[in-house]
Amino acid sequence: MSGPNFSNPVVRWIDHRLPVFTFMHHEMHEYPTPKNLNYWWNFGSLAGIVLVIMLLTGIILAMHYTPHVDFAFQSVERIMRDVNHGWLIRYIHANGASFFFIVVYIHIFRGLYYGSYKAPRELLWMLGVVILLLMMATAFMGYVLPWGQMSFWGATVITNLFSAIPGVGEWIVTLLWGGFSVDNPTLNRFFSLHYLLPFVIVGVVVLHIVALHRFGSNNPLGIDVRGKQDSIPFHPYYTVKDAFGLGVFLTIFAAVVFFMPNAMGHPDNYIPANPLVTPAHIVPEWYFLPFYAILRAVPDKLLGVLAMFAAIGVLFILPWLDRSPVRSATFRPLFKIFFWIFAANCVLLTYLGGKPAEGTYVILSRLATVYYFFHFLILLPGLSIFETPKPLPRSISQPVLGSGTAGASKENS
């Protein structure tokens, strides 16, 4: 395990004192990555890149934005109309938030399908859920900043939820608001925290990657890497594959930013906030809709809030709910079917979150909410016990080598 030899004397001088180059070499060239990763494994690096895009565009927007209720809306319009390329930076940031959630949701569903949350990657998974929570807080506060009708009323509805907490609820809400309703103090602190949290996310992402590198990536077969024949160096194989994936992502992202930049937004947010006029339907951004549906499905205010948070809480304890020793859905036929039903249920919850809380929508929301918790709390533990998985291949290389007997190569390559 001798370190790499660098020819450049400057590189050697730095590396001797601060081994960044050895570190990079290890992570890129030596770090063994399973050779059979499919394109669902691209979404982690995509999420990281979108985070960088959001940081860059966000810091730039903050150069032009004014976090005061009398000026916020017009400062955003100034960005759109007068700041050089301001419209582009704003649209990238607003749509980037949506794409960040698209990428992360796919990344999560990949984890669910292939059992990436199972031992020994439980902490990796939980760090990911922490990142999701931080993203949600950041996005919620960011949406308030333009101070449109949806900004104001979304903030009012969600902060009001905390009043459901018995005893201290009202006190907490007043503390959050800094006043008796969502107003300037609220806007100012949301701006400060919105600027702060992404850097906290960066920190947790670093921990997430350190945890990943402890045992390396999972793979579509869900079986461990057994030797050098099962893995390839991250560079150049996965660097180029990630670059290609990035190209596909950027093409789709550019198509949305340039040709349908307001499709995922709400027209009401182009109306300046008015505390005296409530919009006909208060709707959060699409990525919150499933949780919004769960919140509204429960008729009791406090229980609704608890159910909404429990929907994420249940993700935390997933490694202990699903105890099947088989990771990948490839070899779990029942689990596979229920995975797709669960995914469809999530899409349904998203749809219902955007509908008014009336009639059939209410009944469906309740059914979908019950099913959501049924999947995690009853189905998965049950499957762990009762499902008969398919036989696992002997190793990652074995399907490639083709033989069904113990033909896996024993040589050190």
Partner 1 sequence: MAETHEGATRRDFIHVASATMGAVGAACVAWPLIDQMNPAADTLALATTEFDVSGVEEGMAVTIVWRGKPVFVRHRTAKEIEEAGAVDIADLPDPQADGDRAPKPEMLVLVGVCTHLGCVPLGQKATDPRGEWGGWFCPCHGSHYDTSGRIRKGPAPTNLPVPPYEYISDTVIRIG
Partner 2 sequence: MMGARGLLTVAAAALVSLGLMTTPVKAAGPAVEIPSQNWSFAGIFGTFDRGELQRGFQVYKEVCAGCHSLDYIAFRNLADLGFNELEIKAIAAEYEVQDGPNDEGEMFARPGLPADRFPAPFANDNAARASNGGALPPDLSLMVDARPNGANYLYALMTGYGDAPSGVTVAEGMSYNAYFPGHQIAMPAPIAADGVEYADGTAATVDQQARDVTAFLAWAAEPNLEERKRTGVMAVLFLLVMTGLLYASKRKIWADVH
**Among all residues, which ones are annotated catalytic?**
213, 217, 241-242, 285
**Residue 387, interface with partner 2 (CB under 8 A)?**
no
Q: Give the end-to-end CA distance of the chain in Å, rounded to a whole number.
A: 15
CA distance 139 to 285: 9
Q: Which distant-in-sequence residues (6+ apart) come within 8 Å of 385 by Cβ?
A: none
Report the nearest approach of partner 1 to the CB of residue 246 (Å).
Answer: 9
Q: How far is CA 54 from the centre of its chain?
A: 14
Footprint on residues 195-224 left by partner 2 (CB under 8 A) = 220
Half-sphere exposure of 346 (CA within 13 A, CB side): 16
Query: Could you identify the residue written with the tokens 């649209």?
Result: 91
Lay out the site mask for partner 2 across 348-377 (x = CB under 8 A, - = otherwise). Answer: --xx--x-x---------------------
CA distance 345 to 210: 33
Half-sphere exposure of 44 (CA within 13 A, CB side): 19
By rule CB under 8 A, what count of residues binds partner 2?
55
Query: CB-based burial of residue 195 (10 Å sphere; 0-12 exposed, 13-18 middle, 19+ buried)?
Result: middle
What single-letter amino acid sits at 42? N
Report the nearest approach of partner 2 to the CB of residue 258 (Å).
Answer: 3
Please give the structure tokens belonging to residue 251. 């093409």
Footprint on residues 157-176 left by partner 2 (CB under 8 A) = none
**Residue 264, interface with partner 2 (CB under 8 A)?**
yes
**Residue 123, interface with partner 2 (CB under 8 A)?**
no
Smaller CB distance to partner 2: residue 114 or 162?
114
46, 47, 94, 102: which one binds partner 2 (CB under 8 A): 102
Smaller CB distance to partner 2: residue 78 or 301?
78
**Residue 392, interface with partner 2 (CB under 8 A)?**
no
Report the nearest approach of partner 1 to the CB of residue 350 (Å).
Answer: 31
Query: CB-based burial of residue 84 (10 Å sphere; 0-12 exposed, 13-18 middle, 19+ buried)?
Result: exposed
**Residue 244, interface with partner 2 (CB under 8 A)?**
yes
Report the nearest approach of partner 1 to the CB of residue 197 (Å).
Answer: 22
258, 325, 378, 409: which one binds partner 2 (CB under 8 A): 258
3-state secondary structure 304-325: HHHHHHHHHHHHHCHHHHCCCC
CA distance 238 to 408: 24
Residues in the site for partner 2, rule: CB under 8 A? 35, 38-40, 74, 77, 80-81, 87-88, 91, 102, 106, 109, 113, 220, 232, 236-237, 240-241, 243-244, 247-248, 250-251, 254-255, 257-259, 261-264, 267-268, 270-271, 280-281, 283, 286, 289, 329-330, 340, 343-344, 347, 350-351, 354, 356
